[in-house]
Structure 1
Amino acid sequence: MLLPRARFLLLRQPTTSINRTFATSLRYQKQLELAYDLHEPPDSRKSGSNPQNAPIIFMHGLFGSKKNNRSMSKVLARELNRPVYAIDLRNHGDSPHDPTHTYTALANDVSGFISQHSLSKPTLIGHSMGAKTAMTLALTSPKMIANIVSVDNAPVDAALKSDFGQYVQGMRRIADSPPKSQKEADKILEPFAKELPVRQFLLTNLVRSPDTNTLVWRIPIKYLAAALDNMADFSYKDPEEVRFEKPALFVRGTKSHYVPDETLPIIGRFFPRFEVCDVESGHWVVSENPEGFRKGVVEFLQDKD
C-alpha cells in the first residue's frame, strides 16, 4: 500500500472575539484507576531536557485497548525521545468497569491518571472515542495539558456509523452463546461485521473463561451498548464559553466521514490554534496508514518542542 505524505493545513481563527477564561472542574467525582503500558525512550540522555517533563498519553477508541497503540507508542517514544503512556480507558482492556460511560467520566479518569503519575504538561493523543476524551479534558483543564492530537473525530454531536450498533449486536450474540474458539466466534460475528480486520479487532476483547473453557468478553458489553448515544455526543456545546488556546492537531482519514470540512469552523472556535493533517485512510487511521500518521504527528510535536 502506498504511504502518501501527510498534508498539513494551518487554520487560525481571529482572537478578537470573546476570550473568556474558563475555569471549571469535572463534576463527575468517581475516578477509576486506569491500566497502562509505559513505553520509555531508548536513551533519555539524547534530550536536552528531562523527557519525563513531556510525556505523551495515547488513548484508544471504542472497543479498543492499549494494545492497539503498542507499536505506534514505541515508535513515538523512540523518535520524539519522550515517554508514552498507552492507557486503557474505563470499561476497556484491563481497566475497571463502571456503568457511567460518558466523555466527562472518561476525561475525569485521565485527569486522575495524570495526577497519580505526577505527569507535567502531557500531550494527549486520542483516536475516535479517545479523541473526544482528549478534547474534553483539554477544554476542562487547559492548564494541565500542553497540546492534543485528535485522530478522526471532532468536537461536535455526530451519530456514530450504524456499523457500531451492528457490532454490538454481534458481540451480544457471542455473549449469549459463548464460543470455544476464535474461529467459532468469528463465524458468529461475521454477519454483523463484514470486514475481517474489524472482526479481528473486536475479537481481541475475548478471553477464555477458566470456569467454562469458553471465550467471554472482558469488556462490559451491556454498559458500552447503553453508552453509544453518549459516544456520539460531545461534552461542550458553546465555544464562546470555553476554548483551548494551545496547539491542537486534528488528523483526518481522507476516506472517513467523521471530520468533514463543515466541522472546521467549530473546531477553530474551540481550538483556535488548530492544524489539520489529512492522511490517506479510513476511520482506523493508525492501523490503516501508520507511516502517514507517524509522519504527521512527529512533525507536529517536533515543531512544538
Structure 2
Amino acid sequence: MLRALAFSRWVHSSPLRPRLVILAKERRALASNAITPLSLSYTVFDGPSLQPPLVFLHGLFGSKTNFQSLAKKLVLQTGRQVLTVDARNHGSSPHGSLMSYEVMSADVQLLLHQLHLNRCVLIGHSMGGKTAMVLSLQRPELVERLVCVDISPSGTSAVTSFQAFMAAMQAVNIPQGLPRSTARRLADEQLRSTIQEPAIRNFLLTNLVSSGDQFTWRVNLEAISQNLNEMLSFPDFQTAYPGPTLFLGGSNSKYISSDDYPEIERLFPEAEIQYVPDAGHWVHADQPQQFLAAVCNFLELPPP
C-alpha cells in the first residue's frame, strides 16, 4: 500500500485578471532571455487511446531508456501513447551550453509543438520533474495532469550527492584501445572510491560510450558542471498550476519532505503527495510495480 497525504483543495484569492497579467509578464521574461530550444530525441510507444499521451522526462545523468520498460507496460495498462524523451545534454539529444529549467521547458514545448500535441500528461523524475513543473506553471493549458517523481519545487543542494557523482565521473581516465568490457570495469573501479552503491555506479555507467578507440561520457559533463547550481535550485513563480498533480516520493528518500509541503500547496493547489514504501530516489527502479499502480490510479481520478 502507498502511504498518502492529500492536501485539501486550495483556491487562489487573487482575481483572474491580475493572475493573467503576472503570467503574461513571466512569458515575456522568458522570451526576452532569447532562449533557443533544441530538438530533443524521443521514442514513441503507440497506444489506441485518443486521450492525451504520457510524456516521460528523466533525471540528471539519465536518459529516455530509463523508462522504456515502464512505457511499454503503461501502454498496455492505459491504452495511451507514451513518449520517453532525452533532455538536452543527455542521451541522444543535442548538447547546449545553457541548462536551466526554463531552457529545458522550452525544449519540451518545442517537441510538443513538433508532434502537434496540444495536451499531455507530464511524468518527470528529479531534474525531469522540475522541468515538468516549470512547463506546467508556464503553459498549464498544455498539461492535463502532472506527476513529479521524488522531487519538489525546492532547492536540493542539501540532500543530493550529484556534486560528488560529477567529480567522480570527471576524474575517470580510460586508456585508448580497450575493449568495452575492460573499459567499463576500469571506470567502475575508479568510481567505486567515491560511489559505494553498485546500483548508482551501474546507472552512471549507462552514459559510458565509445567514440573511435576512446571511451567517453555521453552526458555533457561540462555543461552540467557549469550549470549545476541552477539544476539544484528552482525558479520563482507567482502563479499556480491548477491541474491534478501527484508528487510520488520514495519513503527512504529525503527529496520530498514536510518542509516542502507549503510550497507544493502554493504552486500546485490540487496536489496529492504519496510515498512508495521501500523506495529511494529512483522510485520507478526500486518499486516498479507500485510506481505503475500509483500512476495508473492517478490517471483514473476524475478532474477536480
> In structure 2, how many angstroms separate the alpha carbons of the residues matched to 1:304 and 1:200?
39
Q: Residue 10 of structure 2 corresponds to which residue in structure 1?
A: 14
In 2 relative to 1, CA 119–40 (structure 1 residues): closer, same or farther, beyond 3 Å? same
After TM superposition, the structure 1 = structure 2 runs for residues 275-290 of structure 1, keeping only pairs within 5 Å, are 275-280=272-277, 281-290=279-288
Q: CA RMSD in A?
A: 1.7
State how many pairs are aligned.
288
In 2 relative to 1, CA 163–248 (structure 1 residues): closer, same or farther, beyond 3 Å? same
Amino acid at match of 2:216: V
CA shift, 1:185, in A, is 1.0
Report the TM-score, using the length of structure 2 for normalisation.
0.90
> In structure 1, how many angstroms separate the alpha carbons of the residues matched to 2:6 and 2:209?
44
Q: Residue 252 of structure 2 corresponds to which residue in structure 1?
A: 255
* 1:92-125 superposed Cα distances (whole Å, 9 cap, x missing partner): 0000001101101010100101111011210000
CA shift, 1:179, in A, is 8.4
> In structure 2, how many angstroms separate the alpha carbons of the residues matched to 1:188 and 1:209?
20
Q: Residue 142 of structure 2 corresponds to which residue in structure 1?
A: 144
1:38 counterpart SS class: strand
Q: 2:45 aligns with which of 30, 39, 57?
A: 39
Unaligned stretches of 5+ residues in structure 2: none
Contact 2:153–2:264, Cα closer than 8 Å, also in 1? yes
* 1:132-158 superposed Cα distances (whole Å, 9 cap, x missing partner): 000000001111111110001111123
CA shift, 1:8, in A, is 3.1
Q: Residue 214 of structure 1 corresponds to which residue in structure 2?
A: 214
In 2 relative to 1, CA 272–184 (structure 1 residues): closer, same or farther, beyond 3 Å? same
In 2 relative to 1, CA 266–162 (structure 1 residues): closer, same or farther, beyond 3 Å? closer
Stretch deviating more after TM superposition (18-27 or 118-127): 18-27
> In structure 1, how many angstroms separate the alpha carbons of the residues matched to 2:149 and 2:131?
11
In 2 relative to 1, CA 70–300 (structure 1 residues): closer, same or farther, beyond 3 Å? same
2:280 counterpart SS class: coil
Unaligned stretches of 5+ residues in structure 1: none
In 2 relative to 1, CA 16–108 (structure 1 residues): closer, same or farther, beyond 3 Å? closer
Q: Residue 228 of structure 2 corresponds to which residue in structure 1?
A: 228
After TM superposition, the structure 1 = structure 2 runs for residues 179-218 of structure 1, keeping only pairs within 5 Å, are 180=178, 181-210=183-212, 213-218=213-218
In 2 relative to 1, CA 214–82 (structure 1 residues): closer, same or farther, beyond 3 Å? same
Amino acid at match of 1:125: I
> In structure 2, how many angstroms separate the alpha carbons of the residues matched to 1:162 and 1:293?
22
In 2 relative to 1, CA 132–268 (structure 1 residues): closer, same or farther, beyond 3 Å? same
Stretch deviating more after TM superposition (265-274 or 217-226): 217-226
Amino acid at match of 1:255: N
> In structure 2, how many angstroms separate the alpha carbons of the residues matched to 1:103 and 1:13?
27
Amino acid at match of 1:276: I
Amino acid at match of 2:266: R
Q: Residue 36 of structure 2 corresponds to which residue in structure 1?
A: 30
1:146 counterpart SS class: strand
2:128 counterpart SS class: helix
* 1:152-182 superposed Cα distances (whole Å, 9 cap, x missing partner): 1111123154521111111111257668321
Q: Residue 271 of structure 2 corresponds to which residue in structure 1?
A: 274
CA shift, 1:83, in A, is 0.6
Q: Residue 156 of structure 2 corresponds to which residue in structure 1?
A: 158
Q: Percent identity?
A: 34
Report the TM-score, using the length of structure 1 for normalisation.
0.90
1:34 counterpart SS class: coil
> In structure 1, how many angstroms separate the alpha carbons of the residues matched to 2:12 and 2:135?
25
> In structure 2, how many angstroms separate the alpha carbons of the residues matched to 1:36 and 1:18?
39
Contact 2:56–2:83, Cα closer than 8 Å, also in 1? yes
> In structure 2, how many angstroms separate the alpha carbons of the residues matched to 1:163 and 1:154?
16
